[in-house]
Structure 1
């Protein structure tokens, strides 16, 4: 069961003017499930994206990068679940390109104006014929209030569709921000085995979108980890339809720029944290906060050492306050001049270790009480400076092994 996560009701997901979703059941891997989505964008929409850093990236990731570098205006996206089209070589590229051509023809666009996305099983041929056959139904279904169905249509091992929405004001104009994501395993920064689509009707120049996508991803999807694996298909796309009617944002340092970025960051972080809460087999949502580092980079080093450790994660699953495992992870994080006599460790508000050793007032019953909670904060103070950073993760359970052992069944 996901950790304190329920699907957002469809009525609470605000339509974004200039953005429409269409959904179909194409039978890509399993019958009778939503597995194909098209995202249609009005002319003049600004688009930015970031992708996996895995060098063995999937065919759709390669094509997306190429189309974003070539196109004068992205007008549609095509997303399938059930098949990742990764590890498929030239054949995979050809099949993905054929789906872009089919959608482009249906919309009277150039293929370079289409971005393809895939998620699912790796090293199996993409059933492009089923995708093409499903396009008419998906296009006929296209509407602005289809976000909830879109969140379902991109799921793989997810148990809950992930979608969030908010409204802000820029100048005197109301602005909508709505997004969806998917992901539950192979979750690691750079990025996760995830797809994320975040849209707003705010007015933003195309020149600013790549920077926005990077900054949003860095503080959200690049701050989560479930199992330490970096997938082949990770993609996060940000779109601005430029229909809200306010003075366009031309700098992120402006008041409107900061307000828009903060609103979009709020939704991006909710989407990222939802992935961790729905992590495969997860029973606990864990915040790892590192304080007192010399730099943010070394804070992240320590945070990921803790968050990736199977010994730490299994201790959390067992509600076992075997907290020496956390200190050990801090020690092997790679900070050569780390002074252990300056390190403090907290579980929520419980001070466990002070200046590198067990705190005199700490009793195991307090640690066990915190470890039994469904949400826990691990806080480590390094005593080296003023830098702070945070990573979100989950525990590692029996079910994680079962889910991944049976994934292709």
Structure 2
């Protein structure tokens, strides 16, 4: 989704746009469980404001979230929904167990990359089930259960491949002393791969929203966003139900809905290049709606571009122990020399942390550490001769950059 500095800028922009404080969204941003949905609501306000005039919660509690008004004066109501993974609680248990196994491997001085956890699930009454230790049981499983036995066997036979399958839980743990690399690998089967429409996450959220805010004789749409749900993620297309079939079923059963807007947010793992993004926006129109969309409203939606933001990794509905996620957007550290001395370009927020002593320059710039470069411009130069800034562009994931020019000591 978005990093904290992007969210802060987006919230400020939306409140300025609407002219008042978005108290409920601010509250949801402070909640781990509701943060993604709150961010998506801000993104929706921002993007829809680009194609027309918007009114947000103009009839609080009695109408959909947004009223979009085109230049011609025609309008449509839009209800916003965010689709989380259905089995996020199982995901939390997997993540916590994986973190605990990694921590125990390090404690026993066993390379974590030689350990592989594989999770699977079964089906009971045609529903997926994955039995895993509860969060409060994980410590006991590490210290007393199968995982303890697994690690003790490794220490007795460090050159042998060891595999153990839990009798009580749905995971297999493997040790391979020949495995090399920088990361420990973890696998899990996709639980949300149902072929039944009634069990599909998208269908369930659309059906729920159809029952809210009955607006008579006015066009109404549902805008659904997701950044992780396997039911409609392109990364799990082999196991998902065709979203067109799901939406057709909704349209058949609910003629009060004029259309569905679907945003599939997927992060970039490379330098931002404008619209070069995996994020998709699809418009589905209900031809049988009691209040059909007018051509100018449809034309408005053709101009929406949810790819204007640089997106990062999804935000989970939970926090994982000992995991530190990047808070701000970041850029590449750059250093060069001009005729007077070294010139450094560094993220403003990182510079503040270094000056405050919360971070060390060497730790933050891997190339300095890997090449055993001990040069520290804050100590090895006589004084700073000039400071300038390259302004931020948080939509593209570019933070504000401090450009520091030093005079080199002459020894």
Q: State the TM bucket, normalised to the shorter chain.
A: under 0.3
Bigger radius of gyration, 1 or 2?
A: 2
